[in-house]
Each structure stands twice: as structure tokens, then as C-alpha cells.
Amino acid sequence: MFRQAMGLILAAGVVAGCARNDLNDPLAPLGAFGLGLNIVVADNAQKVPISREASEEEWEAAVKQAVADRFGRYEGTRLYNIGISVDGYALAPPGIPILAAPKSVLVITANVWDDAAGKKLNAEGAQFTIFESLSGETVIGTGLTRSKREQMAALSYNAAKRVEEWFLENPEWFGMTQAELDAQLAAMKAAAEAADDAPQDAAAPAASDAEALAPEAVPVPDEAEDSPPAPGESAGN
């Protein structure tokens, strides 16, 4: 079943994902969230036939780094443990004609626990199918334009981003009501729009303006007039 589903996805050439890196943007409102354990396992990951090879250790390292990069920024008052299993993947290989170039894809299952309560918050693992970012590279197949490491990093980044979006769909896990979440998201959107609409910094003044703003030159006394008297001469001579 997994291989059939992956084959259909790759044949269709469906591409989705984040268009840019947003890790320097303001944090999403996740209430009390703070990152506890960051657990990634890939021992049962299935690889589709047309794919570069990636080891269990490589996938665990890539996804764990992406989770740390995204969720390690939060400093909430409660710790939440994230568990992710890598279920399957395809990394587009090089050397395939452009028209048939497959796309890279990652399938994960995510779970989250309240650390202090020792309680799993989601009843069943949430499975997500992740693609590389939409770009000219992904349209023709990134096996021609990206290394295996770059493909894995892009997929892992998008996987962590998708988990964050899943968290936002469940604000009650993090001590927030839906109304509180909506209000904070609306405020963030308004602030972003205001920043976009703000006028640019004033241009540098024109040459004539610059002259008007410059301080008046202070006349420098003639050197002869200001020279101290030579030894043996009086100040009046």
C-alpha cells in the first residue's frame, strides 16, 4: 500500500511546501510550549525503488535537527516531547530525463506528549506527506539540482513546519483557547501588514539641502597672528 501510494504521488508530480525559510520570523503563538525530548526514529523507513539511498542515521539526524531548529526557539513554561517516525521517502536521483524526473517526498508520523503530565496528547499518530519547496528546481526534479543532503534538509525543514501547523490546529494542548489563538494570529497578521505598508526611510538629502544642514565653518586664525612669541620677545613686540 505504501509503495503504491508513493508511486502515484511521484507520477503525479505533486509539489508542495514552504517557499522560504521563516525561522527568523516571529514565533507562532503556541502558548506554554517549550521543547522537551526530541525523538526521531527511522528504523522502519521504506524507500521507493527510484530514489537515492539514505541511511536510518542520516534521516534521524536531519529530522531531529529540523525539529530542534524550529521548536528550540520556544521558551514556554511547560515541556512537550515530540516523537517523529520516518515512515518512507523518495529522494529524486540524478541522471533521469527531465520529463520523467521524480520528485522528493517524505512521509512521517508525529506524536506529542505533555512531559509533566506524562500524557500523550494526540489519540493517534498524525501522518503527513511532505514535499520539497515549490520552485523551478522541484518542477524538474531536484536530483538534477540538489545533493542528497540538501534534499533531506529541505524535506526535514518542511516536516517540522508541518508539525508546527498541526500544533496550531490544537491550541488546547498548549493551554490556549481557539479564541485566544485567533486573536494572536490576527494581531501578528496586522503587525506584518503594517510593517509592509510603512514608508521607507527618507532618502538622503539633496546636495543643496546637505549644504544647508552642514554646520558653519569656523574661521581658522592666521598662523602668524596666533604664533606664540619667540623666547626673549615680549608679547607686545
The CATH architecture of the domain made up of 2-15+29-173 is 2-Layer Sandwich (3.30)
Residue 76 vs residue 192, higher pLDDT:
76
The listed range with the strongest mean pLDDT (56-60, 145-149, 206-210) is: 56-60
What are the Cα distances from residue 171, in Å, to 33, 59, 154, 179, 185? 10, 29, 26, 10, 12
Residue 48 vs residue 108, higher pLDDT:
108
**Pair type for strands 126-131 and 105-114:** antiparallel
Q: What is the pLDDT of residue 187?
A: 95
Read off the DSSP letter of residue 209.
H
Which has the closest alpha carbon to 135: 14, 51, 15, 9?
15
**Which of 92-106, 125-139, 177-191, 209-223 is predicted least confidently?**
209-223
Q: What is the pLDDT of residue 198?
A: 77
Task: Output the nine-digit C-alpha cell for 183.
Answer: 486573536
**Pair type for strands 105-114 and 33-41:** unpaired
Note the pLDDT tens digit of each residue in 90-122: 999 886 554 455 689 999 999 999 999 999 999
Q: What is the pLDDT of residue 46?
A: 97
Category of 112 on φ-ψ map: left (φ > 0), alpha (ψ -120 to 50) or beta: beta
Range 16-44 average pLDDT: 88
Would you say residue 207 has pLDDT above 90?
A: no
Q: To the nearest whole number, what is the mean pLDDT of the chain?
A: 79
Report the distance separating Cα 59 and Cα 78, nearest Å.
Answer: 28
Report the distance separating Cα 20 and Cα 133, nearest Å.
Answer: 8
Residue 211 vs residue 192, higher pLDDT:
192
Residue 171 vs residue 94, higher pLDDT:
171
Band (pLDDT 50/70/90 cuts) for residue 175 is very high
